Structure 1
Amino acid sequence: MGSLRSLRLAAGSFFRFCESHASSSLRFTRKSDLKRMNGFCTKPQESYKAPTSTYTHRVPLHKPSDWEKRILIWSGRFKSKDQIPETISFEMLDTAKNKLRVKISYVMVALTVLGCILMVIQGKKAAQRNESLTGWNLDKKARLKEETALKAKTE
Structure 2
Amino acid sequence: KRYKVPGSYKPSKFDKKILMWTGRFKTEEEIPSRIPPEMLDIARNKARVKTCYIMIGLTIIACFAVIASARRQAEHHQSLTSWNLAKKAKWREEAAISAESKTK
Q: Aligned partners of 1:107 and 1:123: how far apart in 2?
A: 24
Q: Aligned partners of 1:85 and 1:60: how far apart in 2?
A: 9
Q: Aligned partners of 1:128 and 1:65: how far apart in 2?
A: 54
**Higher relative contact order (CA closer than 8 Å, sequence separation 6+):** 2
2:31 is equivalent to residue 84 of structure 1: yes
Structure having the higher helix fraction is 2
**1:120 aligned partner:** 67
Counterpart of 1:93 in structure 2: which amino acid? L
CA drift at 1:60: 5.4
Taking structure 2 as the reference length, the TM-score comes to 0.90
Counterpart of 2:57 in structure 1: which amino acid? A
Q: Which runs of 5+ in 2 are unaligned?
A: 1-5
Residue 50 of structure 2: which of 94, 103, 106 is its match? 103
**2:3 aligned partner:** none
Aligned to 2:87, what secondary structure does the other structure show?
Answer: helix
Q: Which runs of 5+ in 1 are unaligned?
A: 1-58
Q: Aligned partners of 1:78 and 1:60: how far apart in 2?
A: 16
**1:130 aligned partner:** 77
Counterpart of 2:85 in structure 1: which amino acid? L
Q: Aligned partners of 2:7 and 2:17: how far apart in 1?
A: 21
**2:15 aligned partner:** 68
Q: Aligned partners of 2:29 and 2:35: how far apart in 1?
A: 14
**2:101 aligned partner:** 154
The number of residue pairs the alignment matches comes to 97
Larger Rg belongs to: 1
Distance change (3 Å), C-alpha of 1:60 and 1:81: closer
Taking structure 1 as the reference length, the TM-score comes to 0.61
RMSD: 1.1
Structure having the higher strand fraction is 1
Contact 2:24–2:43 (Cα < 8 Å) also in 1: yes
CA drift at 1:76: 1.1
Q: Aligned partners of 1:136 and 1:68: how far apart in 2?
A: 50
